[in-house]
Amino acid sequence: MSQIYDRVALIGLGLIASSMAHAIRRGGLAGEIVGTARSAETRDIARELGFCDRVVDSAAEAVKGADLVVLAVPVGAMSAVAAEIAPHLAKGATVTDVGSVKQAVIDAVGPHLSEDLHFIPGHPLAGTEHSGPRSGFAELFDNRWCILVPNGADKDATIRLRKLWEGLGSNVEEMDPEHHDLVLAVTSHTPHLIAYTMVGVADDLRRVTDSEVIKYSAAGFRDFTRIAASDPTMWRDVFLTNKDATLEILGRFTEELFALQRAIRTGDGDALHDYFTHTRAIRRSIIEAGQDTDAPDFGRVGQHEVKKS
């Protein structure tokens, strides 16, 4: 791949932004990477790791002269960051984000940006339960999907951003914001809420000891805890900002759960078998699409071999 942007500014230096920096370096996709984070500790770690060419102390300073600005902060912080950087953005620059909801980001960021900028919200569907600048690695986006929400943005600017994500290893799809938020409520947001709930239920069942929960967690509970270990600030903001879609899918989940309760209570083995056969087929489709592996460890990296670039 050849260089796509002269200067990329990363606002926020957690898992996604640090992985972007590693992957940009890997592909030679930018002339310079400038980063910043709210926490001085995070900035110091980023300087130590060296995945940015420069780490500066403020978002306003980071965006100066950048032709791509990536907002990699919690959704709840987007409006304040957009207001801070708006007077310092270069004319014609592209502003994007990596948030898990899109309509709320458009509402928070859009009003702060002038018409000579290209605002193209984005969402890479890649991640781990780890967070922070040390957790990033260049391969995070390989063969994963990134959704762009051009929302009427300039076509050439959108093509350019698409090329960047493809250079990072992603498959790219475009959606409107409302559909994105519904899709993610099904595939990510509600499953995370259920995982948090299941871990909470286990904590409440005092008849099952803590040591038993830990010892026997391979029986399904383990992957719930992996999901529920995700960043609490990010997920708080996701549920507050994608409330309608999440509640809709949660309502559907509750209906399905009642149907399964009824089948178990009445001893309806055929209904249970048919239901599990259907859901098993969905799992097979995910593996066939290359979005997971059927390896015994579910493709998870072992705790002693956390992947780093």
Which residues make Cβ contacts (< 8 Å) with residue 226, sequence separation at least 6? 129, 300
> Which residue reads 């799992």 in tokens?
283
State the Rg of the chain over Cα: 21
Q: Which of 167, 171, 137 is nearest to 30 (CA)?
A: 167
Q: What are phi and psi of 55, to 5 degrees?
A: -120, 120
Note the pLDDT tens digit of each residue in 68-118: 999 999 999 999 999 999 999 999 999 999 999 999 999 999 999 999 999
Token digits of residue 237: 């903001």
pLDDT at 206: 63
Architecture field, domain 179-266: Orthogonal Bundle (1.10)
Which strand (E) or helix (H) includes residue 146?
strand 145-148
Classified by CATH at the fold level, domain 5-175 comes out as Rossmann fold (3.40.50)
Residue 215 confidence (pLDDT) above 80: no
Separation CA 253–CA 110 (nearest Å): 33
Residue 309 confidence (pLDDT) above 90: no
Neighbours of 39 (CB within 10 A): 12
Side chain identity at residue 88, one-letter code: H
Cβ pair 122, 145 in contact under 8 A: no
Q: Which of 166, 174, 171 is nearest to 24 (CA)?
A: 166
Neighbours of 18 (CB within 10 A): 31
Separation CA 257–CA 145 (nearest Å): 29
Separation CA 102–CA 119 (nearest Å): 12
Residue 198 confidence (pLDDT) above 90: no
Domain edges within the chain: 5-175, 179-266
Around 278, how many Cα atoms within 13 Å sit in the side-chain half-sphere?
A: 6
Q: Average pLDDT of 264-290?
A: 88
